[in-house]
Amino acid sequence: MPRALVILLGTASAVVVVAGIRAAAWLIAPTLLALVIVIVVSPVHRWLRRRGLPAWLATLTLVTVVYGLFLVFAAILVTSLVRLATLLPEYTDRARALASRAADTLTSLGMGPEQLSEIARSVDPGRVLSSVGTLLGSVTAVTTSVVFLLALLLFFSAETNGIDTRLAAVAHDRPRIRRALDGFAAKTRRFLVVTTVFGLIVAVLDTIALMWLGIPLAVLWGLLSFVTNYIPNIGFILGVVPPALLALLGGGWGQTLAVIVVYVVINFVLQSLVQPRYVGDAVGLSTVLTFVSLIFWAWVLGPLGALLAVPATLLAMAVLVDVDPRAAWAAALLSAPDRHVPSTTGDARNGRRRLRWPGTRKPTGEAENPWQP
């Protein structure tokens, strides 16, 4: 077939697949999240088995730990949101004063009364309280998704007992598929370990700094910083907005500037400058691909897509690139710069040295280990 026709058909098929994934995002996103969580905690299951625990007891322990972490997270979140709803009325007068001052400033800049009235209505504290009430009222709808996620975690955790046997059967006939899946699991685990370590550091530093500045609900905003740390490149921007707004309402522009400076020094330096280097080394993705994958998966899968951008990209590369020896060129283009430097391998039969991209099929005669990614 003509190459142009192949490219056209491939592009059309990709559009149809992406549209289908976006339509089923309500199912795919929590399923992928549950899969990623189980991949991360699966070494705990193996460690418990090596310690002599029966399979059912190791699985029960694993599920209990995961469920316990979710319950602690949910308890902190719900408690903080309820307290936030009780704190907002205290800032009503301050919000109105700020809106009036902003209106005077805009009037001095030549803005008409109609635009000022619209802006005043948009920052009405009553609307803010109504929005918070709507948010709290939507907890019931979110509960359905959480229950679905917890059920998926239970089923995936139960399946960890036989996953090694299944992958061994796959490796017998399709060793590249086994290596690609092993690589996806290993890279995902490294990514989440690195991101979690940086997230804990950032969350602790943010919480201490916000407490020192006197910002209410510092623990909630520290938890928010931890969660947004999983969003590559721009996570700290999402985490700074709520505490900055509370600082503006409670302490004025000076306190707001202090919060922004703290987040820039801590979050921007760690999350946007230091962490991407370690993440790139851990998963082998270029910085550009990481940022593009964030935008793409957030559009396809919604908010969970932003959190799962890197694992989703790793899964797509494992299925579409790593399993196909002819797609080594794509791996070279998508990998981090230090991951696709051509290496030389000796050929003992003819004494010549030839270039080989890492991750491509080894020359005939070299032993392959299907158990290693």
Condensed to tens digits (0 to 9), the pLDDT of residues 313-362 reads 999 988 888 888 777 777 777 776 655 444 433 443 333 433 344 444 44
The percent of residues above 70 in pLDDT, for the chain, comes to 72
- Across the chain, mean pLDDT equals 75
Identify whether the C-beta of residue 259 lies closer than 8 Å to the C-beta of residue 213. Answer: yes
pLDDT over threshold 80, residue 54: yes
pLDDT of residue 312: 92
The pTM of this model reads: 0.73
Task: State pLDDT tens for residues 158-208.
Answer: 776 667 777 777 777 788 888 888 888 888 888 888 888 888 998 899 999
Lowest-confidence region among 10-19, 74-83, 85-94, 142-151: 142-151
pLDDT tens readout for residues 220-275: 888 888 888 888 777 778 888 888 888 888 777 888 899 999 888 887 777 767 77
